[in-house]
Each structure stands twice: as C-alpha cells, then as structure tokens.
Amino acid sequence: EIALIGTTASGKTYIANTLAREFNAVVLSLDSLCVYKEINIASAKPSQDDLASIKYFGVNLLSVNEHFNVELFIREYQKAKEFALARNLPLIIVGGTGFYLKTMIDGLSEKTLESKSSLNNDEIYALLLNIDPNYKIEKNDTYRLKKWLGIY
C-alpha cells in the first residue's frame, strides 16, 4: 500500500491515476466528498474515463441524503485491500481526509464505538466541556455534538 496525502488541489488524484495505470494498481479515495454521486465539484473526483479504466473504491457510493462516516469508510478500505490482495495488485490510497487515514492506521476506539450508542446529548456536552471547555458547540446542537463524539 502507498498513500498519497496532501492539501486540496495539490495533484494527488493525477499522480494516483498515473501510478495506477503504470502499475495496474487499485485506488481507494480518501476524500470524504467523493463518496457522494451528486458531488462533482469541491473535490478531485476521478473522471468517468478514469473510473472506467482504473478500479476505484470509495467513489460514487451514496447519494447526498445518505449518511457516511468513518466506520463505513473502514469497510470500504477493507474491501479495497481484499480486492487488491486477492489479485496481487498494489493499493494506492489518495486524498486529504486525515481522520480517515488516522483511523486506518490506529483503528477505531472501542470506547468511542461503545459510547456513541450509550450517551445522550447532555452527557456528550458534559464530556466535551470536560475535555475542551473552549470548544464552540452549542448544548442543543445534536448533529455537531454527535460528530464531535465520533471524532473523539
């Protein structure tokens, strides 16, 4: 496996596509926007020609009204890795979503997975204040609190 990680518009996708063609590699997108079928701007989503000639994972999986998170990304990574290993092909991981890369390397915290289902909003907010009292999330912002907990 090789990972091409960098800032937006730094040429990562172009390099990944060039390497994938040269070495007959499989590519996993590490871009949190590429998973959505309808989002074709604000990310360097591979072109239809690229998708037709290179085996890509993590692209055009869901509609924008469907939920995607790091756990689903890890499943996609596992599919890509199994596909590449079964065919003795290199796997190129490309993108800029650092949290996904960190999770690939370190794994998901069991504590976080367990606590996602057992804490209510007040408990999540109390945990947030205990860890970082200066964090700017309102107590009634359920979406951001749960997102914060998922990252924590």
- In sequence order, the β-bridge partners of residue 93 are 3, 28
DSSP characters for 25-68?
-EEEE--TTTTBTT--SSS-PPPHHHHHHS-EESSS-B-TTS--
Between 111 and 47, name the one with better pLDDT. Answer: 47
Separation CA 34–CA 13 (nearest Å)? 11
**Which amino acid is it at 69?**
N
Q: 9-59: per-residue pLDDT in tens?
A: 888 999 999 999 999 999 999 988 899 998 887 777 899 999 999 999 999
What is the DSSP-derived secondary structure letter of residue 4? E
Please tell me the predicted confidence (pLDDT) of residue 76: 93
Position 125 pLDDT exceeds 90: no
Position 93 pLDDT exceeds 70: yes
152 band by pLDDT with thresholds 50, 70 and 90: low
Separation CA 14–CA 94 (nearest Å)? 10
Please tell me the predicted confidence (pLDDT) of residue 150: 74
Structure tokens at 135: 């964090």
Please tell me the predicted confidence (pLDDT) of residue 111: 54
110 band by pLDDT with thresholds 50, 70 and 90: low
Please tell me the predicted confidence (pLDDT) of residue 116: 54
